[in-house]
């Protein structure tokens, strides 16, 4: 079954709670919240991740609740393991941990280095899973380069298994997603680049067959309304900025435009470089990475991702969307999900 979920967009805990309830009523499968401490909307707010997720577990009864995404630089794996184990008692079987290597926007302003992000993430996933199984009678031991456990056990264990989805773009991260993840959650792909990157994840999965289900996701900017000239002028730069944050995708689209060795954290550390990358992107390429126009148009675009192997579309409402438009957009998302309900293979 195809799943459709929603990245929450709001300026208060009350906004997020009401939006999650609306998503559940519209028939969506889940909601996500960001882990962001970097620059935000100066007139708004971005509530802390785990506090927000706890609120969402109490506001909903069916939706899965996930993070898009956190990392093991800002939050030690022990903290994340403990927090999500606790959340699983509030919403058994409904909690998803989204992890990435860290993009830098919530790191560099606070003096947090992004050294060896892929290797640190691999160890972090191993540590989290060990802690979710350890008990005082059978404590965890781990000796890694970045993390160590010595007779370690959490004071609470998950009530139900918690899947870990990996946000991955470059070759090493795609391998980690395939070898260690229960799902893959990239942003800003075109259908063609999604198909190419998915193949790398699939190769890594086949090296270590587990028989476990795997969730093939893609997260895309969503604006299910008519495209007036003014709207297009606002959305296109947003799409380009989003895509430019992922040089590993951009290299596939513009092979001669992005040097090897440049990754997301380089763009985050150098806003001039980030803008230079965005300026390289033609309008027609940027438009391939977003869902824009009436719901039927968005549905047709989603089918292109399904043909590329996606089975879970995460809708990221365009951040220029007004508060009055959000309920209509959620209802459009619910209608799209209903249209896809019986799709098994496209």
Instruction: Identify the residue with better confidence: 143 or 342.
Output: 143
Query: Residue 291 gets which letter from DSSP?
Result: E
> Residue 309 pLDDT > 70, yes or no?
yes
Query: Average pLDDT of 320-336?
Result: 94
List pLDDT tens digits, range 145-176: 999 999 999 999 999 999 999 999 999 999 99
Query: Looking at residue 41, what is its pLDDT?
Result: 56
Domains of the chain and any CATH numbers: 3-226+291-339 (3.20.20.30)
Query: Average pLDDT of 227-251?
Result: 87
Query: Looking at residue 229, what is its pLDDT?
Result: 65
Tell me which residue of 157, 132, 127, 155 sits closest to 142, measured CA to CA: 127
Distance CA 272, CA 259 (A): 15
Classify strands 30-33 and 3-7 as parallel, antiparallel or unpaired.
parallel
User: pLDDT over 90 for what percent of the chain?
Assistant: 79
Distance CA 4, CA 13 (A): 23
Query: Looking at residue 261, what is its pLDDT?
Result: 86
List pLDDT tens digits, range 48-74: 999 999 999 999 999 999 999 999 999
Q: What is the phi-psi region of residue 244: left when phi exceeds 0, alpha when psi lies from -120 to 50, beta otherwise?
A: alpha
Query: Average pLDDT of 294-316?
Result: 96
Q: Which pTM value belongs to this model?
A: 0.95
Query: Looking at residue 320, what is its pLDDT?
Result: 86
Q: What residues form DSSP beta bridges with 184? A: 166, 216
Query: Looking at residue 103, what is its pLDDT?
Result: 85
> Residue 225 pLDDT > 80, yes or no?
yes
> Residue 8 pLDDT > 60, yes or no?
yes
Residues in Cβ contact with 114 at an 8 Å cutoff, skipping those fewer than 6 apart: 73, 101, 102, 104, 107, 265
Instruction: Identify the residue with better confidence: 323 or 142.
Output: 142
Q: Extract long-range pairs of 200-208: CB within 8 Å, 24+ residues apart.
A: 200/171, 200/174, 200/175, 201/168, 201/174, 201/177, 202/178, 203/178, 204/174, 204/175, 204/176, 204/177, 204/178, 204/179, 205/178, 205/179, 207/178, 207/179, 208/178, 208/179
Query: Average pLDDT of 12-39?
Result: 94
List pLDDT tens digits, range 78-136: 999 999 999 999 999 999 999 999 888 888 888 888 899 999 999 999 999 999 999 99
**Where does the pLDDT of residue 344 fall: very low under 50, low under 70, confident under 90, or very high at 90 and above?**
low
Query: Looking at residue 343, what is its pLDDT?
Result: 65
> Residue 323 pLDDT > 90, yes or no?
no
> Residue 42 pLDDT > 60, yes or no?
no
- What does the block give as tokens for 183? 């799902």
> Residue 266 pLDDT > 90, yes or no?
no
Distance CA 312, CA 62 (A): 17
> Residue 40 pLDDT > 80, yes or no?
no
> Residue 224 pLDDT > 60, yes or no?
yes
Query: Looking at residue 44, what is its pLDDT?
Result: 61
Phi/psi at 217 (5° precision): -105, 165
Query: Looking at residue 124, what is its pLDDT?
Result: 98
**Where does the pLDDT of residue 232 fall: very low under 50, low under 70, confident under 90, or very high at 90 and above?**
confident
**Where does the pLDDT of residue 211 fall: very low under 50, low under 70, confident under 90, or very high at 90 and above?**
confident
Lowest mean pLDDT, pick from 33-37, 230-234, 317-321: 230-234
- Mean residue pLDDT across the chain: 93
Lowest mean pLDDT, pick from 190-194, 271-275, 309-313: 271-275
- What does the block give as tokens for 322? 């007004």
């Amino acid at each position: 079954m195809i799943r459709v979920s929603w990245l929450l967009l709001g300026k208060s805990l009350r906004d997020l709670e009401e939006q999650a309830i609306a998503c559940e009523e519209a028939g969506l499968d889940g909601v996500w919240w960001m882990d962001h401490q970097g620059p935000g909307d100066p007139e708004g707010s971005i509530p802390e991740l785990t506090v927000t997720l706890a609120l969402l577990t109490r506001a909903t009864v069916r939706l899965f609740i996930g993070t898009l995404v956190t990392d093991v630089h800002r939050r030690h794996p022990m903290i994340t393991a403990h927090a999500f184990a606790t959340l699983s008692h509030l919403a058994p079987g409904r909690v998803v941990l989204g992890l990435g290597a860290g993009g830098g926007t919530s790191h560099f302003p606070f003096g947090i280095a992004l050294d060896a992000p892929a290797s640190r993430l691999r160890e972090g996933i191993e540590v989290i899973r060990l802690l979710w199984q350890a008990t005082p009678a059978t404590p965890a031991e781990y000796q890694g380069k970045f993390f160590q456990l010595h007779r370690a056990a959490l004071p609470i264990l998950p009530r139900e298994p918690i899947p870990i989805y990996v946000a991955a773009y470059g070759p090493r991260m795609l391998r980690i997603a395939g070898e260690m993840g229960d799902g893959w959650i990239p942003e800003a792909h075109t259908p063609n680049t999604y198909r190419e990157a998915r193949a790398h994840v699939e190769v890594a999965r086949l090296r270590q067959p587990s028989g476990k289900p795997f969730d093939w996701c893609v997260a895309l900017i969503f604006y299910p309304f008519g495209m007036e000239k003014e709207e297009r002028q606002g959305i296109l730069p947003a799409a380009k900025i989003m895509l430019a944050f992922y040089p590993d995708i951009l290299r596939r689209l513009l092979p001669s435009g992005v040097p090897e060795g440049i990754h997301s954290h380089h763009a985050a550390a150098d806003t001039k470089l980030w803008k230079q990358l965005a300026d390289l992107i033609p309008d027609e390429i940027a438009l391939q990475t977003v869902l824009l126009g009436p719901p039927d148009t968005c549905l047709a675009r989603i089918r292109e991702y399904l043909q590329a192997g996606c089975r879970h579309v995460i809708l990221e409402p365009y951040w220029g969307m007004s508060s009055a438009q959000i309920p209509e957009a959620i209802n459009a998302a619910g209608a799209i999900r209903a249209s896809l309900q019986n799709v098994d293979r496209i």
